[in-house]
Structure 1
Amino acid sequence: MKNHPQFPLVIALILAACDSTPSTGGQGGHGGHGGQGGSGPDVPSPHASGGGNSDGGGGNGDTSPPPGTLSERYPDDVGIAGDPGVLFHDDFEQGWGRWDGPAADTRTLRIEADEATAHAGQGYLRSSVTTADLAEETYISSSTWVTHERADAIYWRFHVRFPELAPNPHHWVRMAAGAEGWDASGLANTVPPGDEGFWFDFDTNTDDVFNFYVYWYKMRSGRCNDGTATPGCAGDQGTTYHYGNGFQPPGQAPFPRDRWFCVEMHARANTVGQSDGALAFWIDGVPIGDYRPGHPDGTWLRDQFHAGGCDFSACTPPAPFGGFDFRSSGDVRFKKFALDAYYERDSDARRRAEMEERGMTVSDARTILYDDVVVATERVGCRR
């Protein structure tokens, strides 16, 4: 599904950059799914519901839905699929059929029924990629995806469980926006046209913390310290490349292994001509990442935004984040969501070696369980 012929070059570039920019994890070349977005109504920041600090902290296990969310109105998600604000829902109780693909179990992805394992009910989705699988294939995309009604501002909610200690995916969950018919597949190391589309991934690294990995038409290059691609610039890496720009909130607690936890995300496309787009995420109802006009203070260095600033010699003083100018056309609107555990053989081996150097006993199966997925135009909240 994704092809990464430039990956060795990417690794060399990343290693060359390590002396001045910290890794945010999971940052190699990678293709895209299709997508869409638009200028939606102003929405509250994550701080408006849920408590906690967007600059750190992890899930606290309390998944009580905050006031005014869909989960509060539909306890235990009963009837939630019928709400006019819900664009997609799957609790995996009815088998395949709600996603655009796949339509049946695959080698790495299957729907199972086990009340003792599921987050709620009996059904859940299992993604499992083994060391043997990666010995046969360099790239594996264990993915299910859906194209939904296009919208300018979107909320996503799903529950997830990592039952084994194993390397996390090279890239993980994908949200995409685009004009009708536009597909970003295979466009790694490409700046997407502002009137066609943009996309971002929600990734996790070896430290079990999360980051956004974003492609848009005003994204920064990793070549120069100032994010440009001008030969001879300060910090010149010698090669122009445009892989996803990284946003990793500092101070995160690692996500819990072998228990269900709740992931919520929000994205708002910008008003055309303005930089008022936003990204945010919550873990177990606690706000962790919150990127919007004027928040947080931070420092850009090459293709990474460091909330709170950074300590390298090339770092400039922190300044308020300027927001996202994701698109140049109102026809670019959110339209696609994918649970995509994407593994690349070499990066997986490096992650495994790093874990073993820390004294961890690493499983040969990279398993992720999913349940209770909702895509909506208002905040969903966690299912109790």
Structure 2
Amino acid sequence: MRHPLRFALTISLILAGCDGPPNAASDAGSSADASPPPADGGSEDGGETGEDASAPPPGDTLSARYPDDVGIGGDPAVLFHDDFEAGWGRWDGPTADTRTLHIEADPATAHGGRGYLRSTVTTADLEEDTYVSSSTWVTHERADAIYWRFHVRFPELAPNPHHWVRMAAGVEGWDASGLANTVPPGDEGFWFDFDTNTDDVFNFYVYWHKMRSGRCNDGTAAPGCAGDQGSTYYYGNVFQPPGQAPFPRDRWFCVEMHARANTVGESDGALAFWIDDVAVGDYRPGHPEGTWLRAEFHTGGCDFSACTPPGPFEGFEFRSSSDVRFKSFMLDAYYERDSDARRRAEMEERGLTVSDARTILYDDVVVATERIGCRR
């Protein structure tokens, strides 16, 4: 898998005809002040739950059938599994430790067993390089619907990545995910990032052939439109569930995502995620109610003058060819010098003591075609 280019220009836009904020040309996500994380993480109100995203009975998950994940890699539904107990052998790249990535063995730190993956990007790294991508990736058997679970720990109080982990779909030879300000062809591929902002909450950041532009209030790119920003750009469309509590620092928690490609010609694609097996985000045809404004879907509606009344989410028309299928994923802590400095300044303005080491730990990674659940 070609190492993708991951960058996003942060630009200052003068709003025209709308008193809402600029869209995803800047860091995606809420700008509300962070509050101390609760003991159990997850969502304050249970998130945007719904039939598709609600957790199945315990016996219906892979983790329930394979306690401690013992034998889970042999299940026919599993496309990839790594608990980092055997080194780098299961990843397409890298195949050995790098400056920012290390597989380590410490049972007191690991989520399970001894092994785990550590990503550390320092202030010195960003002084040397404007863009730092601390990433590992895998190309797997292609599938129309996918689940991806991993356990993660943020041991330091430090700026979160500019962009974080990513799942990509495509035809067999397509390998162009991660390009900023790009509308991917519907018959070739699409992708989404799963990001976290300075409030330690999560959002999907999605690129697909029917994505909306940030130029106009209605998501189009016609000059002279309502809210015209004066230039056309296509950064990832943002889906951030409201009511999230900040994730917990310095303890392991579980992230699981689900993505379903659409039937060609229909808008029945879906995205969902769970934190510690609690449904938080759920986007599918008819759910949730919300309002589009430029390139962001506001669950429940929004209060800016350009906001239209909320209505049911229409679902995703991710692809125009059935040969476009989920094929790869990436653990990528991607940092950009200027946005990192802004995030650091925002945290320090809140009175926080910020580390120079941006460390993220990963363990117990599973990709499958059915619901996985957290390691039990």
**Does TM, normalized by the shorter one, top 0.5?**
yes
Q: How many residues align?
A: 354
Deviations 1:302-324 (A, max 9, x none): 00000000000000000000000
Matched residue, 1:139: 131
Unaligned runs of 5+ in 2: 30-44, 50-54
Q: Give the distance between the partners of 1:378 and 1:3, measured in 2 at CA.
A: 30
| Cα distance change of structure 1 residues 376 and 4 upon mapping to structure 2, 3 Å threshold | closer
Q: Give the distance between the partners of 1:357 and 1:279, measured in 2 at CA.
A: 34
Q: Give the distance between the partners of 1:313 and 1:176, measured in 2 at CA.
A: 35
Q: Is the 8 A contact 1:222 1:242 kept in 2?
A: yes
Deviations 1:292-346 (A, max 9, x none): 0000000000000000000000000000000000000000000001000000000
1:329 alignment partner AA: S
Matched residue, 2:359: 367
Give the CA RMSD over aligned residues. 2.2
Q: Give the distance between the partners of 1:136 and 1:64, measured in 2 at CA.
A: 47
The answer to whether structure 1 residue 116 and structure 2 residue 108 are counterparts is: yes
Q: Is the 8 A contact 2:15 2:228 kept in 1?
A: no
- Cα distance, 1:188 vs structure 2: 1.3
The answer to whether structure 1 residue 326 and structure 2 residue 299 are counterparts is: no
1:120 alignment partner AA: G
1:94 alignment partner AA: A
Q: TM-score, normalised by structure 1?
A: 0.88
Q: Give the distance between the partners of 1:144 and 1:6, measured in 2 at CA.
A: 20
| Cα distance change of structure 1 residues 202 and 5 upon mapping to structure 2, 3 Å threshold | closer
Q: Is the 8 A contact 1:64 1:382 kept in 2?
A: no
Unaligned runs of 5+ in 1: 29-51, 57-62
- Cα distance, 1:27 vs structure 2: 3.6
Q: What are the equivalent positions in structure 2 for 1:218-229 lying under 5 Å apart?
A: 218-229=210-221
Matched residue, 2:62: 70
Q: Is the 8 A contact 1:220 1:245 kept in 2?
A: yes
Q: Give the distance between the partners of 2:165 and 2:336, measured in 1 at CA.
A: 15
Residue 348 of structure 1 aligns to a residue whose secondary structure is helix
Q: Is the 8 A contact 1:21 1:301 kept in 2?
A: no
- Cα distance, 1:142 vs structure 2: 0.2
2:48 alignment partner AA: D
Q: TM-score, normalised by structure 2?
A: 0.90
Q: Is the 8 A contact 2:19 2:305 kept in 1?
A: no
2:211 alignment partner AA: M
2:284 alignment partner AA: R
- Cα distance, 1:16 vs structure 2: 5.0
Among 141, 145, 148, the residue aligned to 1:153: 145
Moved more, 182-191 or 308-317: 182-191
Q: Give the distance between the partners of 1:233 and 1:267, measured in 2 at CA.
A: 33
The answer to whether structure 1 residue 53 and structure 2 residue 46 are counterparts is: yes
Matched residue, 2:20: 20
Residue 111 of structure 1 aligns to a residue whose secondary structure is strand
Deviations 1:25-71 (A, max 9, x none): 7349xxxxxxxxxxxxxxxxxxxxxxx73338xxxxxx998330000
Q: What are the equivalent positions in structure 2 for 1:192-207 lying under 5 Å apart?
A: 192-207=184-199
Q: Name the % identity.
A: 82
